[in-house]
């Protein structure tokens, strides 16, 4: 019987024989191609494919032999293989020329990841290829310029300065005595490169078939689009002039010191399609270490300045050179030895949105901002097949990592391989794939071709510094440029940005006046991004969006943008409680301990559900000390629940109102956001109710309000994966934060725990937005503080409540996208598939079993679905809750308004004369009449409705303030509609604002 060693050695020998066989085959194929008249085109293709197979089999054979080789000999074995294959690659590239030289040039700069043997051999391709004959050069110059060399030049050096893939460069002197360089395109190179692109496309297709996780089709498609442009030197001349202007190479930089770059670019003298004449600049090659040392050049500063020049081109200009290999740089001999940038044949122009998305991706990687990173992917068209924010962040960090010297390439490659293996294990566990499936799984569903050249440039720059033995921190170098492109657009208020107001038709006279007010507030720097929507008598009268999504997110606010609204969440959660009470699944007089036994300890056994709703549970300072010690624990509800069970009431239940609403909850596993990244998303929390474990919080919200109101995708408490690109980012109004801090000492009604947190305004201004901007906080289910919604979804919700739960008519606004058109829980493409599906994409509104929720219930949910729609989750909920109602209402209780505000039969459940009803903030007119209800959040976002006037409004904003912005909006709208202004907003009016020291923030 053959031993294991013999078996492996036999297979090793077989693989080696296959290599030799392939080498013989190439000669046979060459003869066949010639005999059949296929010529050099197919001959080139056969050579490329043959060498690819030879090298592949060679390394496969080496992997087998390595297992039976002594550890001390393995490195030597690999070095010999690298040396042999590097020579093979170089020989074939020199023979083929064309696009393969470009590939070799790129590989020659990747000293950070490739073995030294490849770098040492392939660096010859940068500018030291065998030159074409002088006769050929002279002929092309004559054909292109219509004159001979003798007529054009006083001197023309016969030996070229450099020879590369497409052309060679000669030094010459014009008739007027000016020293120039003449770039002459190789004869027949155009046909060769176009054929090489076809060959490369075929190889990429083969690789994608053999190893599906390595699908490079987007990359080769981008090359097929951009590479042919290099063959027209008129285009290169225009590119050179544009980059030179952008970098200010001929200016004194008096107006922009921060982003100044110290580089040189030659002037263009003359150009045709195949000949380019440029100004001669005396310099040494970038990879000439001896000359650089003799000149006393600081190589670190030199490469950093080159990197800054590229950061300027990418992030500020949106137009950059795509080929920064060492052969395209010189260093001026004259002090201060500036880098000279050459060869602008391969360039890339970025659209403004893409440029902003790339800047956002870079800063998100630098800041560890998962939300911004995922959003930037969506903005640039990069789609993933699964939700793995931690792994995505690691990949981004690797992409923008600090370069390491070439001597550490092996260590770098090992670390990257280990990281890749770790990520693949995460994918395998998450997607439940076996080892074979995970090897063929490609997590990328769509890769935008527009960022291929950008990726190439970043890799080439890192390879450039590695080959020169340098460590370059690209985050520090590029950050100012990325920040400037985002901040520059964000800082443009309405006066400088004609697109500041979202362009939708004006629905009413009051909306016209509102938009003028918003423009005034925007110019006064009081508004960053905002949405306002209002209903009157069941119809939409305002639907406005304006501003930008964040301080570093200059994208315009859209009608479907999602804003964090803090305590506005309480009004939504309160509505869910009343919905459950209406379905007889909960009683307002139930003791909390009967639902949550652990809660009843330490004197909390008397607290009932209605105490929690009307803020009289006696736990006004609950979590105060925890919040001061570690604010992140406020989003860790396992820890929060544990802390609340240990709290001791400060007052008897029902004795007085407090500013903190306690949301008691039970745990249950999360279906759609159970990610390894976010522990907070492992559990959903149900409000106090019997049989809570049967329903998850998002399911109740969707069944109660989202689907019936047709506000899919625009109201969440805890966002699902896939909506990150629509999120607004919070920031603070520094002036209002300072005023809030000064007021703390004079406000006895503010809890002591909150006062203690208000002493440092700068801490508040940075900590709170930073916390709630994080992905784990946004995805956490915090029923009292973590809603994300659009103003139109919020206004529609209150429009239904103001009519005792009656569903309003369809949202009749021309704003796009239409309200309810989003898939509420976005779905990733099939994880089992590695090939793109043909045809249209999946329907947005399909439920898990394939049924359409919209179709199941008729247009816009004018009726609650009947029981025969078994595929609908709503009909399942209706059967469970025993609701056979077919009218278009959310509640059966005819006194639901009394329940909301704690009036009539519900009055005994609330504090007499108190601010709160049962979960909602009561709103009074100036003369003390109860007129409506709602809830405002920290920073000014508000949901409100006026009962008698059938009016509802939603305001969402991302620049946190004390409520003054919202108050001005409410004052204008109520005045124009001739309805009473809620007293909460009177304190912001000019009538009492002469002394604003007593103006309390709009928080409830």
Burial annotation 275-307 (CB, 10 A radius, 16+ → b, else e): bbbbebbebbbbbbeeebeebebebeebbbbbb
Q: How many helices (H) and strands (E) does the chain have?
A: 37, 25
Residue 164's DSSP bridge partners are none
Contact indicator for 96, 85 with CB cutoff of 8 Å: no
Residue 890: CB atoms within 10 A of its CB come to: 23
Residue 373: CB atoms within 10 A of its CB come to: 24
Residue 170's DSSP bridge partners are 182
Alpha-carbon distance of 621 to 606, in angstroms, equals: 18
6: its two tokens: 């013999």
Alpha-carbon distance of 216 to 196, in angstroms, equals: 16
Cis peptide before 504 (omega within 30 of 0): no
DSSP for 614-640, please give it.
TT-SS-TTTTHHHHHH-GGGGG-HHHH
CA-wise closest residue to 378 among 319, 431, 315, 446: 446
Apex 331 CA angle, 327 and 334, nearest 5? 155
Cis peptide before 817 (omega within 30 of 0): yes
- Strand extents, DSSP E, 679-834: 715-717, 731-732, 787-789
Q: Is 835 exposed, middle or buried (0-12, 13-18, 19+ CB in 10 A)?
A: exposed
Alpha-carbon distance of 684 to 695, in angstroms, equals: 9
Alpha-carbon distance of 342 to 330, in angstroms, equals: 8
Residue 27: CB atoms within 10 A of its CB come to: 11
Contact indicator for 326, 123 with CB cutoff of 8 Å: yes
CA-wise closest residue to 665 among 626, 717, 702: 717
Annotated catalytic residue, options 215, 323, 553, 733: 323
Alpha-carbon distance of 1000 to 739, in angstroms, equals: 10
Residue 7: CB atoms within 10 A of its CB come to: 11
Active site residue 343: no
Contact indicator for 824, 713 with CB cutoff of 8 Å: yes
For strand 951-957 and strand 529-536, is the pairing parallel, antiparallel, or unpaired? antiparallel
Residue 248: CB atoms within 10 A of its CB come to: 17
- Catalytic sites, residue numbers: 323
């Amino acid at each position: 019987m053959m031993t294991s060693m013999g078996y492996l050695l036999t297979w090793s020998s077989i693989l080696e024989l296959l290599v030799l066989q392939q080498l013989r085959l190439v000669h046979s194929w060459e003869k066949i191609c010639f005999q059949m008249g296929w010529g050099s085109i197919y001959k080139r293709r056969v050579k490329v494919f043959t060498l690819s197979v030879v090298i592949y089999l060679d390394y496969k054979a080496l992997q087998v032999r390595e297992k039976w080789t002594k550890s001390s000999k393995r490195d030597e074995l690999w070095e010999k293989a690298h040396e042999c294959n590097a020579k093979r690659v170089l020989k074939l590239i020199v023979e083929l020329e064309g696009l393969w030289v470009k590939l070799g040039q790129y590989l020659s700069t990747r000293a950070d990841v490739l073995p030294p043997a490849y770098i040492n051999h392939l660096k010859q391709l940068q500018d030291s290829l065998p030159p074409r004959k002088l006769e050929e050069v002279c002929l092309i110059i004559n054909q292109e310029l219509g004159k001979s060399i003798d007529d054009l030049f006083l001197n023309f050096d016969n030996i070229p300065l450099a020879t590369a893939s497409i052309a060679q460069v000669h030094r010459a002197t014009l008739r007027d005595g000016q020293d120039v360089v003449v770039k002459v395109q190789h004869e027949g190179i155009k046909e060769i490169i176009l054929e090489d692109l076809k060959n490369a496309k075929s190889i990429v297709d083969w690789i994608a078939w053999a190893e599906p996780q390595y699908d490079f089709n987007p990359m080769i498609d981008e090359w097929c689009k951009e590479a042919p442009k290099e063959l027209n030197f008129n285009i290169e001349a225009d590119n050179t002039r544009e980059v030179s202007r952008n970098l200010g190479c001929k200016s004194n930089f008096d107006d922009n010191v921060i982003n100044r770059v110290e580089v040189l670019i030659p002037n263009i003298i003359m150009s045709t399609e195949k000949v380019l004449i440029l100004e001669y600049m005396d310099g040494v090659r970038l990879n000439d270490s001896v000359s650089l040392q003799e000149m006393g050049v600081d190589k670190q500063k030199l490469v950093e300045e080159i990197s800054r020049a590229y950061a300027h081109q990418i992030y500020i200009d949106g137009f950059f050179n795509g080929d920064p290999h060492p052969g395209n740089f010189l260093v001026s001999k004259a002090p201060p030895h500036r880098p000279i940038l050459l060869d602008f044949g391969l360039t890339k122009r970025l659209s403004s949105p893409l440029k902003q998305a790339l800047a956002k991706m870079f800063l998100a990687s630098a800041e560890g901002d998962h939300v911004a990173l995922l959003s930037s992917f969506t903005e640039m068209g990069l789609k993933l097949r699964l939700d793995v924010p931690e792994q995505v962040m690691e990949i981004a960090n690797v992409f923008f990592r600090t370069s390491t010297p070439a001597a550490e390439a092996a260590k770098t490659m090992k670390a990257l391989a280990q990281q890749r293996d770790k990520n693949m294990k995460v994918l395998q566990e998450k997607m439940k794939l076996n080892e074979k499936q995970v090897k063929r799984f490609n997590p990328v569903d769509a890769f935008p071709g527009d960022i291929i050249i950008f990726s190439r440039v970043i890799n080439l720059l890192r390879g450039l510094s590695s080959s020169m033995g340098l460590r370059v921190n690209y985050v520090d170098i590029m950050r100012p440029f990325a920040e400037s492109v985002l901040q520059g657009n964000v800082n443009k208020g309405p006066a400088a940005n004609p697109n500041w107001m979202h362009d939708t038709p004006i629905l009413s006279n009051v909306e016209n006046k509102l938009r003028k007010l918003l423009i005034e507030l925007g110019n006064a720097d009081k508004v960053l991004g905002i949405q306002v929507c209002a209903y009157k008598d069941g119809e939409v009268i305002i639907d406005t969006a304006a501003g930008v999504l964040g301080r570093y997110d200059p994208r315009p606010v859209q009608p479907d943008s999602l804003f964090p609204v803090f305590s506005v969440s309480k009004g939504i959660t309160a509505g869910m409680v009343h919905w459950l009470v209406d379905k007889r699944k909960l009683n307002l007089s139930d003791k909390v301990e009967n639902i949550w036994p652990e809660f009843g300890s330490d004197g909390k056994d008397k607290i009932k559900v209605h105490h929690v709703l009307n803020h009289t549970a006696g736990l006004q300072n609950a979590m105060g000390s925890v919040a001061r010690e570690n604010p992140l624990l406020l989003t860790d509800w396992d820890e929060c629940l544990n802390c609340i069970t240990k709290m001791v009431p400060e007052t008897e239940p029902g004795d007085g109102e407090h500013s903190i609403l306690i949301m008691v909850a039970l745990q249950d596993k999360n279906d759609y956001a159970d990610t390894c990244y976010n522990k907070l998303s492992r559990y959903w929390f149900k409000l106090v109710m019997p049989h809570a474990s049967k329903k998850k919080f998002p399911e109740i919200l969707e069944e109660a309000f989202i689907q019936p109101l047709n506000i899919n995708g625009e109201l969440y408490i805890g966002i699902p994966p896939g909506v990150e690109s629509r999120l607004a980012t919070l920031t603070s109004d520094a002036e209002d934060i300072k005023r809030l801090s000064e007021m703390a000492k004079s406000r006895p009604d503010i809890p002591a725990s909150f006062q203690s947190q208000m002493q440092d305004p700068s801490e508040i201004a940075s900590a709170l937005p930073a916390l709630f901007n994080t992905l784990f906080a946004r995805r956490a289910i915090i029923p009292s503080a973590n809603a994300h919604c659009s103003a139109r979804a919020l206004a529609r919700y209150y429009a239904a409540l103001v009519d005792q739960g009656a569903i309003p008519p369809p949202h009749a606004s021309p704003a796009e996208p239409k309200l309810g058109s989003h898939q509420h829980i976005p779905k990733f493409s099939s994880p089992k598939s590695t090939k793109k599906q043909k045809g249209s994409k999946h329907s947005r509104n399909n439920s898990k079993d394939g049924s359409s929720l919209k179709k199941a219930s008729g247009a816009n949910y004018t009726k609650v679905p009947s029981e025969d729609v078994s595929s609908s989750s709503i009909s399942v909920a209706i059967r469970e809750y025993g609701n056979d109602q077919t009218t278009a209402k959310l509640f059966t209780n005819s006194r639901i308004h009394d329940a909301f505000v704690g009036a009539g039969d519900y009055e005994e459940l609330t504090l007499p004369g108190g601010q709160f009803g049962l979960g909602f903030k009561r709103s009074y007119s100036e003369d003390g009449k109860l007129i409506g209800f709602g809830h405002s959040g920290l920073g000014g976002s508000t949901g409100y409705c006026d009962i008698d006037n059938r009016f509802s409004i939603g305001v969402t904003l991302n620049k946190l303030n004390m409520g003054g912005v919202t108050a001005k909006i409410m004052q204008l709208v109520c005045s124009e509609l001739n309805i009473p202004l809620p007293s909460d907003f009177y304190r912001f009016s000019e009538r009492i604002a002469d002394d604003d020291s007593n103006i309390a923030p709009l928080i409830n």
